Structures are given as C-alpha cells and as structure tokens.
Amino acid sequence: MALYAYKVIDADGKTAKGLQDAANLIDLEMRLKRGGLDLISAREEANTSSFGATRIKRVALITFFFNLEQLTRAGVPLLECLADLRDTMEEATFREIIANMVESIESGKKLSQAMAEHPNAFDKITVNLTKAGEDSGRLVDVFKHLTESLKWQDEMASQTKTMMIYPAFVGTIVLAITFFLMIYLVPQLVGFIKGMGQEIPIQTRILMATSGFFVAYWYALLLAPFVLFGGYKLALIVNPKLQYHVDNFKLHVWPTGPILRKIILARFANTFAMMYSSGITIMDC
C-alpha cells in the first residue's frame, strides 16, 4: 500500500486533511466514503512507508490499551472499540494507524495481524501477546497486562530522566567553567607568571600547556564528541559484532553497570511473566 495525503469534506461542509494507507486513489476514496467523507484531493507521499517516520509515544499507547481493555471488558465489539478510539484519539499519526487497523480487520485480518503492519507503534512483544490472547480468548487480560507493563516502563523512564538531570546540569557547568579557565583566565596569567623570573613548577607548566592546547584547538574539542559518536555509529554499521563488546562494557563498568543489569533483569522478568501469564509457552517466550 501507498501512503496518501488527502483533503476531504464532511457532511457539514467542513474540510480536513490527513494521511491514509490505500492501494490507489479509488481505494482511498472508498475508504474515506465509508467514514462519511468526500475526497477533494490527494497525493501520494514519496518514499514514505506506513507512518514509519514517527514513533508513537508510550503515553499514547498506555491510553490506547487502557481504553481498549475497559471497552472490551464491558462487552463492546472490537471493531466498535477501535472506531471509538480512532474518533477520540488526539494524536493524528496514531489516529491514522487505528483507522488503518479498522480497515485491515474489516478486510478479514486479525487484530494481531493489523498491529504487525505498524511496527512503529506495536513492537513484536505486543503483537505476540495479542496473538496469544486471540488464541486463548483472553484478550482483555492481555490488554490489562500491556497497560500495566507500559505504565511501569514509563515510570522507570521518568525516574531515570529525573535522576540524570542533576548530574547532567553539574557536568555542563563544570565543562563551561573549565573552558572559561583554560581559554580566557589562564592565558592572561601566563605573562605575569613568566615575568616573575622564577622557575616555574611542573604543575604550572602542565597547566599552561593545557591552556595553550585549549586556545589552539578549542574547535576540535567542541567537535570531538560529535565526531566520536559518528565514528561509533559507523563502526557499528561496518562491524555489527562490535555492539556485543559495547554492551558487555556497559554491563561491567562501575558504577552504572550493576544498576543497568538490575534494570534489564527487572524488564526481562516483567515481560516474561506477562507473556507466560497470557498463555505463551516457555519455549515461545
């Protein structure tokens, strides 16, 4: 399917714009017609896959699965649930994804198959859990587990960001002060120190040499982090096995290594428990 940017008009005469997957313009017009919209104009988005450029935020997924769990638990048919969520979803990209899922299910696909068409919104674990729920008839429990898991992940990410704010702020201030001392203050003291006519201690000579390096190559010092990061990404592309050594280093470096191992184990245990309780066998997990 291709992705089309369209402009439509509804029964009240109001115009709207959006994105929609369709096989061709005729298919697009029929899909919009079923939603009570008349197509005005449309154009195919060049080199764009199905909403692949935008990653759906975790908060939107939490809202989606929570509402889906509540509606299905109340006995509302799945298609009606998705249609209601499509109409009330504020995020445009996710709204279009849900609309495309409705079309896929109406064409005979299962919910898990419709989710699998949008990897930027639903990862493999979510798709497999949904498939297990469909096979076991426990979709409501799966939606509940997914909601709780996403909330836990969101809380973990929020706490991690909060913990990193202070170190990042202090590190930025330290770097700024270091550059100020090396580039501005120390060079002004060099002439005074040399004019004293005394032997300069080794520590002072090292400080002066360091300041001279900062003054001469300050642009290289500012560009170095970006160059190193780009080189690291390029090295991973050339040699994917390098990622194993990088991850191994992350797990063993102190003091972040032990903390990272505990976070990974907690995520693994949470995901494994959720998959196993949804009816997926241990080997498939």
**Digits of tens for pLDDT over the chain (285 positions)?**
567 788 888 888 888 888 776 767 777 788 788 778 888 888 876 544 444 447 888 889 999 999 999 998 898 888 888 888 888 888 878 888 888 888 888 888 889 888 888 888 898 888 888 888 888 788 888 888 889 888 988 888 888 788 888 888 999 999 999 999 888 888 888 877 777 777 788 888 888 888 889 888 888 888 998 999 999 888 888 888 888 888 888 888 887 788 888 888 887 887 787 777 767 777 776
> Which residue is listed with tokens 């197509």?
39
Q: What is the pLDDT of residue 2?
A: 66
Calculate the dihedral angle through the C-alpha atoms of 69, 75, 78, 83, rounding to the nearest 10 degrees: -90
| Domain assignment of residue 228, yes or no | no
What pLDDT score was predicted for residue 89?
81
- Assess whether 73 and 133 both reside in one domain: yes
The pLDDT value recorded for residue 12 is 85
Together in a domain, 62 and 131: yes
Q: DSSP readout, 140-180?
A: HHHHHHHHHHHHHHHHHHHHHHHHHHHHHHHHHHHHHHHHH
Q: What is the pLDDT of residue 226?
A: 92
Judgement on whether residues 65 and 31 belong to the same structural domain of the protein:
no
Structure tokens at 263: 């976070």
pLDDT at 49: 45
Say yes or no: 39 and 63 in one domain. Answer: no
| Residues 31, 72 within the same domain | no
Spatial separation of the C-alpha atoms in residues 42 and 48, rounded to whole Å: 15
The whole-number pLDDT of residue 50 equals 45
Give yes or no for a contact between 115 and 122, defined as CB atoms under 8 angstroms apart: yes
**3-state secondary structure at position 17:** strand
- DSSP calls for 65-129: HHHHHHHHHTT--HHHHHHHHHHH---HHHHHHHHHHHHHHHTT--HHHHHHT-TTTS-HHHHHH
Pick the last residue of a domain from 108, 137, 166.
137
Task: Report how far apart, in Å, the C-alpha atoms of 180 and of each of 166, 212, 215, 264 are.
Answer: 21, 13, 10, 40
The whole-angstrom distance between residue 108's C-alpha and the CA centroid of its chain comes to 30
Q: Residue 99's domain spans which residues?
A: 58-137
Instruction: For residue 55, give the DSSP letter.
Output: P
- Determine the Cα–Cα distance for residues 98 and 197; give it in Å rounded to an integer: 78
Amino acid (1-letter code) at residue 52:
G
CATH number of the domain enclosing 105: 1.20.81.30
Q: Are residues 77 and 130 in the same domain?
A: yes
Which domain-ending residue is among 76, 111, 137? Answer: 137
Show which of 105, 137, 169 is a domain's final residue.
137
pLDDT score at 65: 92
Same domain, 15 and 76: no
CB atoms within 10 A of CB 9: 13
pLDDT recorded at residue 227: 93
pLDDT at 47: 46
Residue whose tokens read 């279009």: 96
Which pTM does this prediction carry? 0.62
Tally of structural domains, the chain? 2
The answer on 63 and 27 residing in a single domain is no
Q: Residue 278: what pLDDT?
A: 67
